[in-house]
Amino acid sequence: RTSTQMHNALETHGAVASWDGDRLTVWESTQAVFGVRNMLKDALKLQPTQVRVICEYMGGGFGAKLGTYKYGVIASLLSMRLGRPVRCVLTRREENLAAGNRSATLQKLKLAGKDGRIVALEHESWSNSGQGRWAANPTGPSNTLYDIANVSSTAHRVTTNAGALSAFRAPGYVEGTFALESAVDELAVAMKVDPLTLRKRHARSVTDPRTDNRYSLKRLLECYAIGAHEIGWSKRRNAGMRGSQPHRRRGLGMATQIWGGGGGPPAYATVHIETDGTAVLRVGVQDIGTGTRTAIAQVCADELGLQLDQVTVRLGDTDAPYGPGSGGSVTLASIGPAVRIAASEVREKLLVAAGGILEMPASELRIERGSIVSKGARTPLKEVMPKLDNSTIIGTGIRHPNPDKLAIKTFGAHFAQVEVDVRTGEIFVEKIVAVHDVGRIVNPLTAASQVQGGIVQALGFALTEERVVDRGLGRVMNANLEWYEIPTSMDVPEIVVRFVDVPDRKANNLGAKGLGEPPIIPTAAAVANAVANATGARVRHAPMTRARVLKALAMVEAS
């Protein structure tokens, strides 16, 4: 089982709307400025050109902000009626009641093994979608992660009198991986096979088991090797290890991750050179706190031959060329290739123009650190551009379709070291090692931050976060941050982040894939497996609260 996890971005849902008599401008905390524009123009019966949506910065979005809701429509209607700006922002309690959630699930898995291998897998799931009209399918990992000859899966949507679900960072895959990877560990114990060894035997395939398409790149075995070394897997003992105190036990566990992240069209970018030699990059995507702004500035600067501070990024505005919503780990993999093409086009035009000014063939020129470089000479762009008589040098880029007959996926593995207090049932996560194969790492700092944030959010799912509902009334009883327990800085363990960092050159012209969802997927399962290794007790319900750990320990003792 997995319990309902609620959205708690630091910035709640909200919008400010301003109607000037002809055009509506809305500033909204959103993951999809064009998605909000489309929803508002339909609700208000306006033309697309009459709605402008802006999101320059925002305080977090994990799937629930992929469109607008009643607050956006209400603010817009009131502004159109009153002729003045209107602000409508949800309180924290309203956020916990209306922003959606990660569905609670019940999952049943059957695994069969023979000769140290998994020969069959059956996975059936039920997801509580509340009043929602869709369900996040937890059987995705079972269908795609391992090469198993016989796989059967069935997913059911259950409607209840509770709040509707919404997309929540790797919807379905977090819940499904918790169940699948727990079951794989249980089978490994039953067959007396090392859990990592068992996974390796089923992770070597280079083709997607659902489509038979070849993976564009798969370095999962390298993830295993790096993670096992970092956590000290060779020191793992089947019966766990003594902890730091007599009443504590220590254990190691791991779990595997698969997700998409290939991105795709449509996505557009424009780059133009200012008279001072700097560049302005315009895109229609939004930076939801993941570092998109910095990453695409790097791509543009690198392709143009400029310093990073010579590139100005303007994003999060529907007056810019179209960009996709930031969901499904698609942002950088979608817009990044378009940015590179736009910057490349500008560079070629700029060299031709500079060649005319410097009276040299463009083929003998290049741009380095903001200067035109030729044999034995270096001329700053800010000296070349004024001589072009205010000519505008602009380039456009479009994201091309993904290659046919290729499966573009991301892979990873998390390893956990925990201590368990067998008297109180408390789990102390001491260390998480996260290794990811997501193609080229454009910005190591922001990429590592993504992984760290995903792990912390996953620890909430694993240990503390659980919506409490009055069964008779359907009323949420802990719709605040006092009683709904998200991890704090005091709960964060040592986190070691590693990347394979090999460009996926078949995926796109950057070789980069998405990293938004992968870090949250395997952590809870790795922790659960570490708890089982430490104590011999299997906790099959997330979050793994003290009461549930004590119950599992009592069952082991009774048996």
Distances 557 to 280, 422, 550, 551 between C-alpha atoms, Å: 66, 11, 10, 10
Query: CA-CA distance, 549 to 539, in Å (whole number)?
Result: 6
Query: CA-CA distance, 420 to 433, in Å (whole number)?
Result: 18
Distances 115 to 80, 118, 187, 357 between C-alpha atoms, Å: 70, 9, 12, 74
Active site residue 517: yes
Query: CA-CA distance, 16 to 54, in Å (whole number)?
Result: 10
Q: Which of 124, 230, 517, 557 is catalytic?
A: 517
- Nearest to residue 382, comparing CAs of 240, 464, 279, 451? 279
Query: Residue for token digits 């802990």?
Result: 478
> What pairs with residue 498 in β-bridges?
435
Query: CA-CA distance, 329 to 513, in Å (whole number)?
Result: 8
What tokens does 507 get?
Answer: 């995926």
Query: CA-CA distance, 292 to 281, in Å (whole number)?
Result: 12
End-to-end distance of the chain based on CA atoms, in angstroms?
A: 22
Residues with Cβ within 8 Å of residue 10, at least 6 apart in sequence: 59, 60
Q: Distance between alpha carbon 487 and the CA centroid of its chain, in Å?
A: 18
Phi, psi torsion values for 552, nearest 5 degrees: -65, -40
What tokens does 77 get?
Answer: 């209607």
Distances 491 to 149, 199, 307, 392, 496 between C-alpha atoms, Å: 41, 29, 39, 53, 15
Encoded amino acid at 431, one letter: K
Phi, psi torsion values for 457, nearest 5 degrees: -65, -40
Query: CA-CA distance, 492 to 514, in Å (whole number)?
Result: 24
| DSSP structure string for 133-166 | S----TTHHHHHSS--SEEEEEEEEEE-SSPPP-
Residues recognised as catalytic: 517
